[in-house]
Chain A
Amino acid sequence: MNQSRKPARNDVTGLKWAISATALAVTIGGWGWLAAQNPPTTATAVVEQPAQQQVQLPAVPTLVPLNLPASDAATASAPAQPAVREVTIPVSRPAPVARTRSSR
């Protein structure tokens, strides 16, 4: 009777290492190949950033509380109201279409 000979433990381990190394090499090589095929794109619009400028912000106006009487300063700085001009539009008297009076 023939008996199959089991491979030695050392032989199996070495085979596993060989397979893993080969897979790793293929992976790294594949990445390199892919990188060579898809170079990074360059931007189509270029925004030139203006040179850094000193920005002058307007002074924050002083808020006058509503429940306090306006100060003289606030009143003095208020813009002058335009003069109101009264306009009289003459309207012609419409002719009556009927007259009401005691029964005729």
Chain B
Amino acid sequence: MQQLSFRAMGSTITIIIDSDQASARPALANARKTFLRYERILSRFRPQSELSALNRRAGRGPARIGQTLWQAVQHALWIARESDGWVTPTVGAALIAAGYDRDFAALSASVTAHKPSPSPVPDWRQIACNPRRRAMSLPAGTQLDLGGSAKGWTAALVARRLGRRFPALVDAGGDIAISGPRGDGSPWPIEVASPHTPDQGLELLLIRRGGVATSGVDYRRWQQAGRWRHHLIDPYTGAPAVTDLLSVTVVAPTLPLAEMAAKTVLLRGAENGLDWLAARPQLAALLVSIDGQIIRTKSLERYCWQPALSAGGG
């Protein structure tokens, strides 16, 4: 097995290829280049990025954009549609207002000044897209943030490419894309970390393909005017969501779907989130509430490692 770890998109990325072939090394290196290239294009923290340039043109008509940014925004709009608007890319201004105005590594060391919270975030459906010209028009005041979707989208893309040649797993800061079973046909064992005690595991999942993602308010948080703030914005208030959940882990047929679902459930809270999940049987989830309660959906059982296998015999 070969792996490569590096920092990109504000997270530690680990790529694992279950193969001893020499050709795996350059494949790992190319995967790293993909992450770094996409970060240069899609990061709102880089003034020279295409996304930052698009954000600066908000309210000034359509702007032609490159293929990568176009696909990333289309993906983010799909996420918004699938989540009924709960996970939307138009939270950029709200995040800045909440204090998340720089890379998180620089943010955690400082206490940001209080800024007034914006009203409900702009409607993602107001973004105008011209596929023929590959041009996009943002309404005035709309700032896009792709932090909720670009990382998972890139990880899934990289896993899919690698998976044509090797069994591969791409771990993008805890959101994991799996191309297929390991070389011996076995599933990949993946631990769900406890948000209360990160060194301990809540569950060991065995996954052959698809994605698993965890959304939480336990890590990306900071203080603003003496109050703890986090990065998951409630689109209806424009402020960090008030939720009874500390973290949500979802297993899905694809990582983008898992990522979207984990955020949606956390934003909606335990009761509404479980109702939302009940209508989507292809999703399996583990919820951890702020008071320490752990809730597993029935569909998660098929992924959970069992400590002993019992068999009848004579």
Contact = CB atoms under 8 A, between A and B. Distances in A.
Measured as residues with beta carbon below 8 angstroms from the partner, the interface class of chain A is 20 to 34
Contact of A96 (B1, B11, B204, B307): B204
B129 to A, nearest CB: 27
Interface in A28-83: 82-83
Contacts of B119: none
Interface residues of chain B: helix, strand, loop or mixed (majority): strand
Given A94-B189, A96-B189, A102 B215 contact: yes
A99 to B, nearest CB: 5
Contacts of B191: 96, 98-100
B310 to A, nearest CB: 5
Nearest to B220: A103
B247 A86 contact: no
Nearest to A95: B189
Contacts of B217: 102
B216 A101 contact: yes
Contacts of A7: none
A91 interface: yes
12 contacts: A85-B312, A85-B314, A87-B310, A88-B311, A89-B310, A96-B190, A96-B201, A96-B204, A97-B169, A98-B16, A100-B192, A101-B247
B212 interface: yes
Contacts of B281: none
A66 B164 CA distance: 56
B307 A93 contact: yes
